[in-house]
C-alpha cells in the first residue's frame, strides 16, 4: 500500500476575481471547478489544474473576501514548486510574469515569484518521470506550460531530524537534510523542511491551508487506520463530492489530508466545460439561489477566449 503522490494543495485568498485572473490567465492553468467551501458555504472554493483536473495538478483556494495577508511560520508551507518540462521554459515565464506586472528571480534551480497575495512559488524543470499534466492556454506554448505540482517547502524547528510519520507511516523516502520524496505509481512529489523564521506565522491571504495526498479508493480507510495507529487524531471520512477525505495535523503542525482519486471533477460537469458555472455541494443545495445572488460573479478566461474566437 502506498500513496499516489500529491492530490492537491489548498490556499487562502482575499480576492476570487484576481485569483482567477492570475492562475487561469497569467499562469495558464485551467479553472476546473467553481464551488464553495463545505464548512463555510458563503466562501468560494476554486480549483485550478490541467485539462481534466487530474490529481497532482490541482491548486485550490478558499476565498475569504478582503482577508488580510498572512505570513508563513513554523508548521506552515511557505513555497510551492510547479514543474516545467525543461530549463528553456524559465526565460519564457520570467518575461510573461514581467509583462503581467509580477517580479521574478532566476536562481540556481529555478524561477521564484509570488502571486498577488504574496504566496511564494518556484518553477522547476522536472526530470520527466511523471506524465505531464498540462492545461491549454493560447498565450502559453505547450513546451513551456506548467506540467503539474512538483513539490512544497514547509517550516519546521526540527527540519534536520527525520520525520518518522512521513517515512514509517506514509511511505516517504528520506533523502537527508530535510528533504523527502513521495513516489506513487505514476507521480512523485518533493517535500522539504526548512528552519522557520523568528516571527510567528499567521494564517491569512497568501498562506497555505492544507496539503492533500492521493490515495487509491480501496485503500482510503486503511490509510485512516494507519494514521490513527500512529497515535494521531484523524477525522472521519468527509464526502467532498469530487473525492473523499480524511484530515489530521502532522506533528510539525501542517494540516494533512488524504483524498481519493475518484470520482473526479467531471461528475457534475461536461469535461469540456469544467469550471464554467457555479457548482454547489449536495449538502448545500438548498443555498444555491442565495449563493448565486451573493457570490461575486467570476469570468472563466476559457469562456471569454471561446467567445472572442466565435465573435
The residues, any chain, with a CB within 8 Å of residue 309's CB and separated by 6 or more, are: none
- What Cα–Cα distance (Å) separates residue 97 from each residue in 24, 114, 176, 277? 13, 10, 34, 28
Helix (H) or strand (E) holding 121: strand 120-125
Q: Is residue 204 part of a domain?
A: yes
Q: Is residue 28 part of a domain?
A: yes
Per-residue pLDDT tens over the stretch 41-76: 999 999 999 999 999 999 999 999 999 999 999 999
Helix (H, G, I), strand (E, B) or coil at 228: helix
The reported pLDDT for the residue numbered 131 is 85
Q: Is residue 177 part of a domain?
A: yes
| CATH number of the domain within which 33 lies | 3.10.180.10
Q: Is residue 250 part of a domain?
A: yes
Q: Is residue 180 part of a domain?
A: yes
Q: Is residue 289 part of a domain?
A: yes
Count structural domains, the chain: 1
Q: Alpha helices, DSSP H only, in 133-177?
A: 164
Secondary structure E strands in 128-269: 149-155, 173-176, 179-183, 188-194, 208-215, 238-239, 244-249, 255-260
The reported pLDDT for the residue numbered 309 is 62
Q: Is residue 82 part of a domain?
A: yes
Q: Is residue 1 part of a domain?
A: no
d(CA 208, CA 21): 19
Per-residue pLDDT tens over the stretch 157-169: 989 889 999 999 9
The reported pLDDT for the residue numbered 114 is 98
Q: Give the domain range for residue 136.
A: 6-310
The reported pLDDT for the residue numbered 109 is 86
d(CA 97, CA 104): 7
- Sign of the torsion formed by the C-alpha atoms of 124, 58, 235 and 295: positive
The reported pLDDT for the residue numbered 73 is 97
pTM to 2 decimal places = 0.96
Q: pLDDT tens digits for the chain (311 residues)? A: 999 999 999 999 999 999 999 999 999 999 999 999 999 999 999 999 999 999 999 999 999 999 999 999 999 999 999 999 999 999 999 999 999 999 999 998 899 999 999 999 999 999 877 889 999 999 999 999 999 999 999 999 989 889 999 999 999 999 999 999 999 998 999 999 999 999 999 999 999 999 999 999 999 999 999 999 999 999 999 999 999 999 999 999 999 999 999 999 999 999 999 999 999 999 999 999 999 999 999 989 888 777 666 66
The residues, any chain, with a CB within 8 Å of residue 216's CB and separated by 6 or more, are: 4, 260, 261
C-alpha cell at 180: 523527502
Amino acid at each position: 500500500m502506498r500513496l499516489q503522490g500529491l492530490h492537491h494543495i489548498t490556499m487562502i485568498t482575499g480576492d476570487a476575481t484576481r485569483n482567477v485572473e492570475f492562475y487561469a490567465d497569467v499562469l495558464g492553468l485551467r479553472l476546473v471547478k467553481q464551488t464553495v467551501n463545505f464548512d463555510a458555504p458563503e466562501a468560494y472554493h476554486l480549483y485550478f489544474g490541467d485539462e481534466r483536473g487530474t490529481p497532482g495538478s490541482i491548486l485550490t483556494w478558499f476565498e475569504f473576501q478582503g482577508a488580510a495577508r498572512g505570513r508563513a511560520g513554523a508548521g506552515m508551507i511557505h513555497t510551492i514548486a510547479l514543474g516545467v518540462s525543461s530549463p528553456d521554459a524559465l526565460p519564457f515565464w520570467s518575461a510573461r510574469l514581467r509583462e503581467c506586472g509580477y517580479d521574478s528571480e532566476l536562481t540556481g534551480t529555478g524561477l521564484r515569484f509570488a502571486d498577488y497575495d504574496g504566496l511564494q512559488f518556484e518553477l522547476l524543470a522536472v526530470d520527466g518521470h511523471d506524465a505531464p499534466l498540462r492545461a491549454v492556454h493560447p498565450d502559453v506554448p505547450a513546451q513551456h506550460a506548467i506540467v503539474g505540482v512538483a513539490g512544497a517547502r514547509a517550516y519546521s524547528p526540527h527540519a534536520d531530524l527525520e520525520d518518522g510519520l512521513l517515512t514509517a507511516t506514509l511511505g516517504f523516502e528520506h533523502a537527508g537534510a530535510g528533504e523527502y520524496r513521495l513516489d506513487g505509481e505514476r507521480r512523485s512529489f518533493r517535500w522539504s523542511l526548512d528552519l522557520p523564521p523568528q516571527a510567528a506565522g499567521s494564517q491569512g491571504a497568501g498562506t497555505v491551508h492544507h496539503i492533500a495526498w492521493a490515495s487509491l479508493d480501496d485503500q482510503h480507510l486503511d490509510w485512516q487506520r494507519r494514521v490513527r495507529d500512529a497515535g494521531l487524531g484523524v477525522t472521519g471520512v468527509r464526502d467532498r463530492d469530487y473525492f473523499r477525505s480524511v484530515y489530521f495535523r502532522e506533528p510539525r503542525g501542517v494540516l494533512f489530508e488524504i483524498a481519493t482519486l475518484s470520482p473526479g471533477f467531471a461528475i457534475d460537469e461536461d469535461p469540456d466545460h469544467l469550471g464554467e458555472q457555479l457548482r454547489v455541494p449536495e449538502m448545500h443545495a438548498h443555498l444555491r439561489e442565495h449563493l448565486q445572488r451573493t457570490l461575486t460573479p467570476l469570468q472563466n478566461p476559457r469562456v471569454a477566449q471561446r467567445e472572442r474566437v466565435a465573435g
